[in-house]
A and B are shown apart, each in its own frame.
Chain A
């Protein structure tokens, strides 16, 4: 089954509101919130949690005060500046510790413990549109890329079990570790942008990332009427890159109203925005191969499949 991922580069362009609307429009999707840092999709889908599990990942150094001789070796070998001698104690700043184990290895007194870390929780839930796989990283914790990879694996297993026709994922902002992890294995990336200098700048970078991994992409310009000239410039740019702009959505305050009511915009109101989202979704279904109405396959050919599966293996360890 195809895996459709909604990302944007820039945050706040409307990824989650659009993903939620697509969840409403899709037929029996398995839904996945891959923004494990600041997940918001559940605020619109209001899931009922069925199972919840700890996400244990990585380790951190902890100095045992009673065995420490204050020799300073750990401070010297730590590349992160995470360890300091406060006088009475040698302490590790857990927010600077990278979990590399170098201090543990070189401590002559064997006075440094290296316990595993609980970085968050992940959930299997039910929503009115289908099952939801989601998570919450503990604020200030790390390993979001690994948690994304875990959620994707669980979503795939669930989709196979339920014979679901597709996996629909809300992605994280940016272009770093969690986004790379989210892109791995995705069949279509829906890039949501806005007609602002930041929107177009960040779209270019996230598009370059998709090209890097040979992921087919389409573009949606949200709030296009905010600056029609910029929206035109985005269309021109996408045209040059051979990427389709499948919708120019109008700015509509109803989007925020729907959010306040815990609803998707397409459920909340029949308006121009909802109509356009429905036709955008039809297009996405075609491109993702969910409906075969024309011979048009995905927007670009998947030449980098090997590249991606290699990445998928590796990202598990980042």
Chain B
């Protein structure tokens, strides 16, 4: 099963939860960091990287000797990545989304595939388990295509039917977060009991409900703020799977790059129970899908 650890608001503890779950997961699992803009999971899992793969996007390259300036490509392109002015064709590679439409529609076969560097995919092992991450090239605007490349690499390197996949998702509720959660069986939403936390949890709940994903909540830094997050979860039938107390020892361990589940036996048990609940949700979802 695939489990995404997501949140609307950034900095609620997605990476903390993912790293801790990896450290106590009771069956074989692989970790995937899909927060490609700011990947942090490796800072806590310290993977040994054995392979680095450049990720690219196919962009148009025009052979002007063949081009008849018919404008079919520029009329089709929705992203203003290719333009024809009189007898000049201009391409804007950084605008291209990689749909391939210009290459398919050109009647002269004048448009071929070039490459734009999106970033890189790192593959290795952490805690003796498979680890994958994407890292967006600084200056590149589009993260979803790189995320899709990481997921494609996962399929070729890990038997995803034989082991569980735990995904550290990016924050927010738009395309990058949706891309990360899209093919998951269960979404763990990490939040904090503050006005910002609950507002962004509502947004995440709305976004991922549209995708039909079963969700549960982890309340991090429990004890700060107010009770609104609990009221919202009750009212929305969102199960609270775990509460991680606000504790200076946890904050300090995190600031030292340590796995939070290692702080104490009680916290380790909290994560073990979270893993159990998430697995149960995933299994019933898998049964529902196969039924």
Chain A interfacial positions (CB closer than 8 Å to B): 9-13, 16, 37-38, 40, 43, 58-59, 77, 79-80, 95-96, 98-102, 105-106, 137, 139-142, 144-145, 172-177, 179-181, 194-198, 201-202, 205-206, 208-209, 212, 226-227, 230, 253, 256, 259-260, 262, 314-315, 317-318
| CB of B206 closer than 8 Å to a CB of A | yes
Find A38's partner among B138, B178, B203 (CB 8 Å cutoff).
Answer: B203
| CB of B107 closer than 8 Å to a CB of A | no
| CB of B149 closer than 8 Å to a CB of A | no
A43-B195, A59-B78 known; A198 and B256 CB under 8 Å?
no
| CB of B71 closer than 8 Å to a CB of A | no
Closest 5 CB pairs of A and B: A11-B10, A12-B11, A139-B207, A100-B99, A174-B37
- Extra contacts besides A173-B11, A198-B38, A259-B225 (17): CB < 8 Å: A12-B11, A12-B171, A16-B196, A38-B8, A77-B100, A98-B99, A140-B207, A145-B141, A174-B38, A174-B171, A174-B172, A175-B138, A179-B37, A196-B255, A202-B38, A227-B252, A256-B224
A37-B174, A95-B211, A140-B173 known; A10 and B11 CB under 8 Å?
yes
B113 to chain A, nearest CB (A): 12
- Quick check: B99 and A137 within 8 Å, CB to CB? no
- Quick check: B204 and A101 within 8 Å, CB to CB? no
Q: How far is the CA of A2 from the CA of B100 in the complex (A)?
A: 41
What sequence of 0s and 1s flags, for each residue 10-52 of chain B, a beta carbon within 8 Å of any chain A beta carbon?
A: 1110010000000000000000000001101001100000000
Q: How far is the CA of A253 from the CA of B225 in the complex (A)?
A: 9
Find A227's partner among B171, B203, B207, B255 (CB 8 Å cutoff).
Answer: B255
- Quick check: B254 and A318 within 8 Å, CB to CB? no
A148 to chain B, nearest CB (A): 11
Q: How far is the CA of A302 from the CA of B176 in the complex (A)?
A: 31
Closest A residue, CB atoms, query B254: A196
Find A106's partner among B10, B104, B172 (CB 8 Å cutoff).
Answer: B104
B55 to chain A, nearest CB (A): 14
- Quick check: B139 and A38 within 8 Å, CB to CB? no
B interface residues, tally (CB under 8 Å): 63
| CB of B128 closer than 8 Å to a CB of A | no
- Quick check: A262 and B195 within 8 Å, CB to CB? yes
Closest B residue, CB atoms, query A141: B174
Q: How far is the CA of A172 from the CA of B200 in the complex (A)?
A: 13
Q: How far is the CA of A226 from the CA of B79 in the complex (A)?
A: 45
What chain A residues lie within 8 Å of B208 (beta carbons)? 140
- Quick check: B38 and A173 within 8 Å, CB to CB? yes
Q: How far is the CA of A212 from the CA of B141 in the complex (A)?
A: 13
- Quick check: A10 and B38 within 8 Å, CB to CB? yes
Find A37's partner among B139, B141, B172, B182 (CB 8 Å cutoff).
Answer: B172
Closest A residue, CB atoms, query B141: A177
A107 to chain B, nearest CB (A): 13
- Quick check: B172 and A38 within 8 Å, CB to CB? yes
- Quick check: B174 and A137 within 8 Å, CB to CB? yes
Which of B61-69, B90-98, B236-244, B277-285 is the contact stretch? B90-98
- Quick check: A38 and B80 within 8 Å, CB to CB? no
What chain A residues lie within 8 Å of B53 (beta carbons)? none
A141-B174, A227-B255, A227-B256 known; A317 and B12 CB under 8 Å?
no
